[in-house]
């Protein structure tokens, strides 16, 4: 498996590279269960999901999942536990272990700002003990400031270096497969810009959203990321002035220009007077200009 790509229902179409293996002792399994705690946004409530048919291809068994909605303040109530014991046929001794697992999951879900805690499979051995053979945990990115120890455990591949460095400064960076760099503020504006560039015949190299709290430091990092991307042939800067100071954006662009000794590719923005920086006030005209400049 090492050195190859793993393709499953939960990976991108091209799969993910395998560079580590976790090896565990062989376990005799009498029964496999699926167990997860997540949010049901339709009900604005956390929900416990269980199935006595865990293991692979759980996505195709969604209709077999039992759902139990609960409040974080009360956790898994005795009524829910009684129903689970009857529904899944657990003995009293087994239910003691299951109850402990459920309570620990809810505690982690609440204290660690989780959005998904999934045990699959939770295996019951012939002796009646329970062992988690695989798990998937997702945590809320917005809670990074509350969970520094947890997020410090993240591992990043070389391909994710720019995304990680950008996220540390509050930037949202997504690598795409085009050659036109884009700096915007706001996810909606990013998608609209990407759509218009595509409509004009170009392809964006990235989705770089500086948000509404951009500073000179974050803008400098944004330019650094795009200047270091060998695929980038041009840069389109599209800023909505309603949520960020445009004078600060302009100062940051000029500062980046000075630090780098000039941009190595054409930049289309609302500024002029510098080599390789072009003025274009109209959104559609700006997209057409950057596509034309990078198609040569």
Q: Which residues are catalytic?
A: 34, 118
Q: What are the DSSP E strand ranges found in 186-242?
A: 206-209, 234-238
Hey, CA dihedral for 254, 258, 260, 265, is it positive or negative? positive
Asked if 87 and 25 touch (Cβ cutoff 8 Å), the reply is no
């Amino acid at each position: 498996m090492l050195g190859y790509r793993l393709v499953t229902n939960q990976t991108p179409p091209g799969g993910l590279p395998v560079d580590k293996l976790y090896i565990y002792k062989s376990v005799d399994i009498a029964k496999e269960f699926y167990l997860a705690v997540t949010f049901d946004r339709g009900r604005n409530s956390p929900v416990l999901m269980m199935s006595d048919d865990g293991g692979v291809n759980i996505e195709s068994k969604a209709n077999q999942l039992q759902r139990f909605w609960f409040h974080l303040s009360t956790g898994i109530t005795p009524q829910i536990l009684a129903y689970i014991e009857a529904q899944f046929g657990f003995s009293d001794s087994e239910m003691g272990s299951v109850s402990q697992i459920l309570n620990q999951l809810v505690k982690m879900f609440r204290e660690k700002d989780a959005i998904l805690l999934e045990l699959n499979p939770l295996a019951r051995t012939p002796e009646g003990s329970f062992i988690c053979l695989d798990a998937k945990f997702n945590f809320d990115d917005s809670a990074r400031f509350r969970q520094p120890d947890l997020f410090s455990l993240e591992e990043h591949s070389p391909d994710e270096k720019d995304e990680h460095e950008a996220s540390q400064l509050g930037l949202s960076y997504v690598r795409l497969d085009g050659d036109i760099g884009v700096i915007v503020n706001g996810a909606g504006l990013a998608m609209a810009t990407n759509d218009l560039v595509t409509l004009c015949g170009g392809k964006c190299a990235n989705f770089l959203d500086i948000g509404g709290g951009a500073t000179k430091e974050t803008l400098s990092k944004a330019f650094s990321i795009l200047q270091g991307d060998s695929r980038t042939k041009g840069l389109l800067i599209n800023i909505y002035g309603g949520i960020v100071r445009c004078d600060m954006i302009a100062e940051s662009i000029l500062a980046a220009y000075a630090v780098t000794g000039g941009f190595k590719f054409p930049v289309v923005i609302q500024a002029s007077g510098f080599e390789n920086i072009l003025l274009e006030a109209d959104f559609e005209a700006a997209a057409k200009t950057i596509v034309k400049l990078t198609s040569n």
